[in-house]
Amino acid sequence: MKKTFKDIDVTGKKVFVRVDFNVPLNDEGDITDDTRIRAALPTINYLVKQNAKVILCSHLGRPKGVFNEKFSLKKVAVRLQELLGQPVRMASDVIGTSAKELTSSMKNGEIVLLENVRFHAEEEKNDDAFARELASLAEVYVNDAFGAAHRAHASTAGIARHLPAVAGFLMDSEILALTNATENAEKPLVCILGGAKVSDKIGVISALMTKANTILIGGAMANTFLVAKGYGVGFSKYEEDKVAVAKELMEKAESLNVNLVLPIDVVAGSEFSPNAKRKTQDADKIDKDYQALDIGKKTQKLFAKEIKNAKTIIWNGPMGVFEFKKFRKGTLAVAKAVAKSAAVSIVGGGDSVAAIQELGFANKVSHLSTGGGATLEFLEGTTLPGVAMLLDKEDGTKKVKTPDFAALDNKTINKNTASTKKPAAKTTVKSKTTKTATSKASSTKTVTSKPAAKAPVAKTTAKSAVKTKK
Ligand code: AMP
């Protein structure tokens, strides 16, 4: 277990909190979903209550190491201030004069937000001198950015060399929930995996196969499995170069006695468009001029039956093109089945979480994960650098175990696959996730474009009361 912000005394101390404020923005640069800001509030509020001096640091988008107004955190500061109901002072830089001046004059309980840490190329390079500069602003480091924990960057990992480093509330609850659902899962464990590409999820499928009783596969990635079974899939999106991998995964499932379930029928569309003509077809008989864009009714029933039997559920990825109204029923049916189930349920990934939220079922799920890549890597069993660098909880001898940085440099930061997972108590923390400002490009066979994601629009009507110190 990792130490948390509650395990150390922060009163009167300058606490550097790495948060994940990588919120989605529209073309005008306005925040379209503030879920990630809300997710950081418990940690911030706790620290303020403890009379700590709270220094917040985040990245936003991909400014590629240079200042870019488009990726400034100014609007985030405004929104944060509204949500907290207390002033947030905003530095106009990260480690420059503004940051130093603002953080050196802080009073207990005050909050300063630094500018986008990715305005410095050193951040993503995990440059030690830069990490040291960040650390020099504070006395304690709290990592609450679970969504960025799979990155070994200066503010997510390197800084922990120079300050006592502990987990924030969100980080802690994510670790607990994900560990609980994998290592301590009550069986049957049913995993539902969907989304665009098998290639993105091979690691997760392989890892979960050693733990799950049942794996349900939907979305475009199911098509690659259907092809591996020798079915024609019309002009459905699938990955030609992953057909062999899909075959291997099906064989592995059989040898491990895991019930790997593929769609038996699909809702096929005449084109990749929200207005496509649609018809339901058996999964082994998709017309040549049609493509599978959702799971069919028979599959929805089949998946719901499996979900009903589960004691633990892990769900990541939509069952179809959730962005198109005509092709979202399969994903919504799975969301309903998961919400109805009494099992411990973990839901991650933008579309899956959006489906749960759209139906108003967020409080019927044990844990909505805020991580995209981080959640998948955690489930794969990868050691996340942002987690590995945190101090372990004190053992019986009261000694604090410091991370082995040299070993981490060689292994973790170069992305090893060893697991750091340890048993954890059950959690029913409800946090939310959302799509990030960046989107993945598709490299699969037939479909090259993706529909725009819909996200609820946050109210950011209040005028900026945030002071930006130059
Ligand atoms: P991921 O980021 O891997 O969770 O994938 C999500 C994306 O998969 C969404 O943009 C969906 O539109 C897409 N997707 C899911 N099912 C299909 C399908 N049958 N055909 C094309 N795209 C799909």
Per-residue pLDDT of 230-274, as tens digits, reads: 999 999 999 999 999 999 999 999 999 999 999 999 999 999 999
- 107-116, 391-400, 452-461: least confident range: 452-461
Whole-model pTM: value is 0.81
pLDDT at 455 over 80: no
Ligand 1 centroid distance, CA of 204 (Å): 17
Quick one: which atom of ligand 1 is closest to the CA of 350? 4
**Residue 337, both tokens:** 């089945």
Quick one: which atom of ligand 1 is closest to the CA of 292? 19
Residue reference for tokens 């690659």: 224
Nearest residue (by CA) to ligand 1, atom 3, is 195
pLDDT at 306 over 90: yes
Quick one: which atom of ligand 1 is closest to the CA of 218? 16
Ligand 1 centroid distance, CA of 290 (Å): 16
385 CB less than 6 Å from ligand 1? no
Convert the pLDDT of each residue in 7-49 to its tens digit: 999 999 999 999 999 998 998 999 988 889 999 999 999 999 9
Residue reference for tokens 């912000």: 5
323 CB less than 6 Å from ligand 1? yes
269 CB less than 6 Å from ligand 1? no
Ligand 1 centroid distance, CA of 192 (Å): 14
pLDDT at 50 over 80: yes
Convert the pLDDT of each residue in 210-237 to its tens digit: 999 999 999 999 999 999 999 999 999 9
pLDDT band at 405 (very low <50, low <70, confident <90, very high): low
pLDDT at 332 over 60: yes
Ligand 1 centroid distance, CA of 465 (Å): 40
Nearest residue (by CA) to ligand 1, atom 18, is 220
**Which pLDDT belongs to residue 403?**
52
The answer for 12, left when phi > 0, alpha when psi is -120 to 50, beta otherwise, is left
Enumerate the β-bridge partners of residue 348: 316
> What's the length of the chain?
470
Ligand 1 centroid distance, CA of 251 (Å): 25
What would the mean pLDDT of 54-83 be, rounded to a whole number?
97
Q: Where are the beta strands (DSSP E) in 108-228?
A: 111-113, 140-143, 165-167, 189-193, 214-217
End-to-end CA distance of the chain: 41
30 CB less than 6 Å from ligand 1? no
266 CB less than 6 Å from ligand 1? no
> Of 62, 109, 63, which is closest to residue 87 (Cα–Cα)?
109
**Residue 158, both tokens:** 């390197």
Three-class secondary structure of residue 49 per DSSP: helix
Can you tell me the distance from the alpha carbon of 227 to that of 208, in angstroms, rounded to the nearest whole number? 22
pLDDT band at 436 (very low <50, low <70, confident <90, very high): very low
What mean pLDDT is reported for the chain?
Answer: 86
**Residue 24, both tokens:** 């989605």
Can you tell me the distance from the alpha carbon of 261 to that of 303, in angstroms, rounded to the nearest whole number? 8
196 CB less than 6 Å from ligand 1? yes
**Which pLDDT belongs to residue 122?**
98
Ligand 1 centroid distance, CA of 197 (Å): 8
The answer for 89, left when phi > 0, alpha when psi is -120 to 50, beta otherwise, is beta
pLDDT band at 407 (very low <50, low <70, confident <90, very high): low
Ligand 1 centroid distance, CA of 145 (Å): 26
202 CB less than 6 Å from ligand 1? no
Can you tell me the distance from the alpha carbon of 108 to that of 105, in angstroms, rounded to the nearest whole number? 10
321 CB less than 6 Å from ligand 1? yes
pLDDT band at 438 (very low <50, low <70, confident <90, very high): very low
Q: How far is CA 7 from the centre of its chain?
A: 25
349 CB less than 6 Å from ligand 1? yes
- For residue 217, give every residue at least 6 positions away whose Cβ sits within 8 Å of its Cβ, in sequence order, or none: 193, 194, 205, 225, 260, 261, 262, 263
Three-class secondary structure of residue 260 per DSSP: strand
pLDDT at 408 over 90: no
**Which pLDDT belongs to residue 463?**
33
- Domains, the chain, in order of start with CATH, read 14-171+384-419 (3.40.50.1260), 184-377 (3.40.50.1260)
**Which pLDDT belongs to residue 201?**
92
453 CB less than 6 Å from ligand 1? no
185 in Cβ contact with 312 (< 8 Å): yes
316 in Cβ contact with 370 (< 8 Å): no
**Which pLDDT belongs to residue 284?**
96
455 in Cβ contact with 437 (< 8 Å): no
Enumerate the β-bridge partners of residue 392: 2
What would the mean pLDDT of 346-352 be, rounded to a whole number?
88
Can you tell me the distance from the alpha carbon of 390 to that of 380, in angstroms, rounded to the nearest whole number? 20
318 CB less than 6 Å from ligand 1? yes
232 in Cβ contact with 353 (< 8 Å): no
User: For the purposes of burial, counting CB atoms within 10 Å of the CB of 51, is it exposed (0-12), middle (13-18) or buried (19 or more)?
Assistant: middle
200 CB less than 6 Å from ligand 1? yes
**Which pLDDT belongs to residue 400?**
44
Ligand 1 centroid distance, CA of 451 (Å): 10
Site to substitute for ligand 1 among 272, 322, 433, 440, most atoms within 8 A of C-beta = 322
**Which pLDDT belongs to residue 167?**
97
Convert the pLDDT of each residue in 114-173 to its tens digit: 999 999 999 999 999 999 999 999 999 999 999 999 999 999 999 999 999 999 999 999
Convert the pLDDT of each residue in 105-118 to its tens digit: 999 999 999 999 99
Convert the pLDDT of each residue in 164-187 to its tens digit: 999 999 999 999 999 999 988 999
Site to substitute for ligand 1 among 351, 376, 439, 454, most atoms within 8 A of C-beta = 351
Report percent pLDDT > 90 for the chain: 75
Q: Which residues participate in catalysis according to the annotation?
A: 36, 197, 350, 373
**Residue 67, both tokens:** 């200042």
Convert the pLDDT of each residue in 88-104 to its tens digit: 999 999 999 999 999 99
pLDDT at 447 over 70: no
Site to substitute for ligand 1 among 237, 271, 299, 377, most atoms within 8 A of C-beta = 237
Ligand 1 centroid distance, CA of 443 (Å): 12
> Of 118, 162, 116, which is closest to residue 138 (Cα–Cα)?
162
Can you tell me the distance from the alpha carbon of 163 to that of 405, in angstroms, rounded to the nearest whole number? 13
Nearest residue (by CA) to ligand 1, atom 21, is 220
239 CB less than 6 Å from ligand 1? no
Quick one: which atom of ligand 1 is closest to the CA of 219? 16
